[in-house]
Amino acid sequence: MKLFITIILILFISTGNIYALELSLNSADTSPYSTLEDNGFYDILLKEVFENLGIDIEINHLLSKRSIQNADNGIDDGEFARIEGADVEYKNLKIVPEPLVDFYFVAYSKNSKIVISNWDSLNNHSIAFINGWVYLQNNVPDSVSVTLVSNEDSLFKMLLKERVEIILYSKLRGLSKIERDGLEDVFLLDQPLASRGMYLYLNKKYEYLVPDITTELVNIKENGRYMEIMEEYLVFQ
């Protein structure tokens, strides 16, 4: 009997690393990526990835700056989704190096005739974007008049009230907002300014989880489940 129990334990351990953990993850993303009901693309994807490792996750929906700062300070255990390099400023964060998705940074305006093809074409226009979007802060030319706002609703209000000519945002999050609110006078402008992989970051105290999370993300992409989730939740892809 003892031999039987020992064999079962060995088989259980050898099937993979199973963690009895509950992690608190932050996100500033909105629909279709992450929702208050936790049924956005990232929410579903990460729940499945962590469930395969025996880890429960709680998702906190915070403003962009607070979301990443809380993860960096260890108040919460991780944050999604950010571009590669966020750990340069937030040194307590460790990247999970397999991207969650490719993310398109685009411009929206009430004037569909504005032509935006690159960062320099933003010159001579007033723009707004969300505070904490470091990639935009690093790439928008210093000569551009910029207003920083706290969230998606404030961003679109700036445009609708014509306080700025252009807002910079995510392609899919913007299209989702336009559809939900019936914003027929807001237009997506031209080609994306940039496309970047978006990543999950963990506080350094959970760095030991990174290899297994990476493996699970790769597996879920290779077995076809990733595309099933994408087709169901990223309706504008």
DSSP string for the chain: -HHHHHHHHHHHHHT-----EEEEEEE---TTT--TTS-SHHHHHHHHHHHTTTEEEEEEE--HHHHHHHHHTTSSSEEEEEETTHHHHSTTEEE-SS-SEEEEEEEEES-TT----SGGGGTTSEEEEETT-HHHHHHS-TTSEEEEESSHHHHHHHHHTTS-SEEEEEHHHHHHHHHHHT-TT-EEEEEEEEEEEEEEEEEGGGGGGHHHHHHHHHHHHHTSHHHHHHHHH-TT-
- The pLDDT assigned to 234 comes to 77
Average of pLDDT values for 1-13?
47
CATH code that applies to domain 19-101+198-233: 3.40.190.10
- Res 225 pLDDT > 60: yes
- The pLDDT assigned to 219 comes to 97
Average of pLDDT values for 156-174?
96
Which residue type does 29 have?
A: D
Compute, in degrees rounded to 10, the torsion defined by CA atoms 226, 99, 90, 205: 60
- Res 4 pLDDT > 80: no
- The pLDDT assigned to 191 comes to 86
Q: Are strands 21-27 and 55-61 parallel, antiparallel or unpaired?
A: parallel
Least confident of 66-70, 85-89, 231-235: 231-235
Q: Are 91 and 112 in contact (CB under 8 A)?
A: no
Q: How confident is the model at residue 20 (pLDDT cuts 50, 70, 90)?
A: confident
- Res 14 pLDDT > 50: no
- The pLDDT assigned to 213 comes to 98
Average of pLDDT values for 23-43?
95
Alpha carbon distances (Å) from 183 to 58, 96, 100: 32, 36, 28
- The pLDDT assigned to 237 comes to 42
91-140 residue pLDDT tens: 999 999 999 999 899 999 999 999 998 999 999 999 999 998 989 999 99
Residue 180 CB: number of other CB atoms within 10 A? 11
Q: How many residues does the chain have?
A: 237
Residue 26 CB: number of other CB atoms within 10 A? 26
Q: Within the chain, which residue ranges are assigned CATH 3.40.190.10?
A: 19-101+198-233, 103-195
pTM metric for this prediction:
0.75
Q: Are strands 101-109 and 166-170 parallel, antiparallel or unpaired?
A: antiparallel
Strand-pair partners of 196: 103
- The pLDDT assigned to 9 comes to 44
- The pLDDT assigned to 1 comes to 53
Tokens, residue 5:
């129990």
- Res 209 pLDDT > 60: yes
Written out in words, the top-level CATH class of the domain with range 103-195 is alpha beta
- The pLDDT assigned to 233 comes to 86
Tokens, residue 124:
């001579």
- The pLDDT assigned to 231 comes to 86
Q: How confident is the model at residue 184 (pLDDT cuts 50, 70, 90)?
A: very high
- The pLDDT assigned to 134 comes to 87
User: Residues of the chain with pLDDT > 90: what percent?
Assistant: 82
Average of pLDDT values for 194-202?
96
